[in-house]
Amino acid sequence: MDLAYTPEEEEFRARLREWLGRALPSLPPKPSPDDWPGRRAYDLGWQRRLYDAGYADVHWGASPTVRLIFLEETEKAGAPYVGANFVGLLHAGPTIAAEGTAGQRDRWLPPILRGDEVWCQGFSEPDAGSDLAALRTRARRDGDDYVVSGSKIWTSHAEVADWCELLVRTDPEAPKHRGISWLAMPMDAPGITVRPLRTLAGSAEFAEVFLDEVRVPVANRVGDENDGWRVTMVTLSFERGTAFVGEVVACRRVLRELAGEARKNGRWDDPALRRRLGRLNAEFRALWRLTQWNVSEAEMSGGVPGVGGSVFKLRYSHARQELYDAAADVLGPESLDLDRPWVLDRLSSLSYTIAAGTSQIQRNIVAERILGLPKGR
């Protein structure tokens, strides 16, 4: 049991820190939250910088500990987050790397790493949210193509994406988990309509995607036909297992800023509020240790995160909401001003117990797959 880093890991950290110190001051200003083309260009520009400096493949080319250091240092330095590259770098990329053919890896991975292509995720459907496997988007085989019809929802970055990791039903007769396939769909194919959805935070963060007889080459299928559910579970284990490392670091910084603000505006003298911040400090310190524990476990078991990610996601998503609720109490009436820091974060934190599997679904996963409790009806 050890929290020390190897000399190689420390050297990586020092080199990265030094590079960030040089690279960050030359960044252009961040685009406005609703300027999607601007955000795409900004995020891809940063990815290109990472690529040129040799850090682009850290999400799937490096050891889990090196990846942890990368996320810790970039967050601490205030570097841009993956942003529009989220799905490509953290979902589709790792999935293609693990399950794709050599040809598929050559076609899709380099453009993700170089910051040339953006991916979005076509998993959720209007009538199949938490019950992901109830999806109904159909793909009918026609020669060398699948012909896809249906609709997807909650698709982040759909407006600016080049590719979509798409789940389709290829065998409507099979049991619902068995008749699904995983396709890479080009977003410029005829028959695709994207309609932005406005969130309660006021931004057009994600979209509905309508698919009307869209032709997708059979060669774009990753994994076997009707084996898409298993391929998807690989994707989701990445999403739940390691997607939040940088965010825990960010939450710990926000907590320090909150303490500073409370000291400034006098609310620090309220013992109940102060102790709530102290308890949140314990919470995020523990979540950071749990992150280190999970990363070490992944390191020792060969890199693919397990269901332990659900344990982390459950605790973290609720802690994040408590953090921004505490922020509102530090701000007082100013928490009703959208121009104040933390107010938009409070609104967006409401999605954390829903996105990537609701807390209820995560509890089922923990209970059934870790504790071995029987499946319910």
Catalytic residues: 239
Q: Which of 2, 188, 269, 339 binds other proteins (CB under 8 A)?
A: 2
Total site size for other proteins, rule CB under 8 A: 57
Told to check if 62 binds other proteins by CB under 8 A, we report: no
Q: Which amino acid is at 270?
A: D
Q: Which of 175, 271, 302, 333 binds other proteins (CB under 8 A)?
A: 271
Given a contact cutoff of 8 angstroms between Cβ atoms, the answer to whether 126 and 133 are in contact is: no
**CB count in 10 Å sphere of residue 131:** 11
Q: Which of 25, 143, 266, 374 binds other proteins (CB under 8 A)?
A: 374
Q: Which of 156, 203, 226, 292 binds other proteins (CB under 8 A)?
A: 292
Told to check if 278 binds other proteins by CB under 8 A, we report: yes
Told to check if 264 binds other proteins by CB under 8 A, we report: no
Told to check if 199 binds other proteins by CB under 8 A, we report: no
Nearest by Cα to 255 from 282, 234, 229: 282
Give 235-271 as a DSSP string: HHHHHHHHTTHHHHHHHHHHHHHHHHHHHHHSGGG-H
Please give the DSSP secondary-structure letter assigned to residue 30.
Answer: P
Told to check if 363 binds other proteins by CB under 8 A, we report: yes
Told to check if 358 binds other proteins by CB under 8 A, we report: no
Min dist CB 159 to other proteins, Å, is: 36
Q: Which of 24, 290, 328, 350 binds other proteins (CB under 8 A)?
A: 290
What CA–CA distance (Å, rounded) separates 295 from 292?
Answer: 5
Provide CB contacts within 8 A for 7, sequence distance 6+.
Answer: none
Q: Which is nearer to other proteins, 194 or 366 (CB)?
A: 366
Strands 119-122 and 163-169, sheet pairing: parallel
**CB count in 10 Å sphere of residue 266:** 9
Min dist CB 293 to other proteins, Å, is: 5
**CB count in 10 Å sphere of residue 362:** 22
Tokens of 117: 């292509």
What CA–CA distance (Å, rounded) separates 122 from 258?
Answer: 37
- Binding pattern for the stretch 226-255 against other proteins, x by CB under 8 A and - elsewhere: --------------------------x--x
Residues that bind other proteins (CB under 8 A): 1-6, 9, 65, 68, 252, 255-256, 258-260, 263, 271, 274-279, 281-283, 285-287, 289-290, 292-293, 295-297, 299-300, 308, 311, 314-315, 360, 362-364, 366-368, 370-377
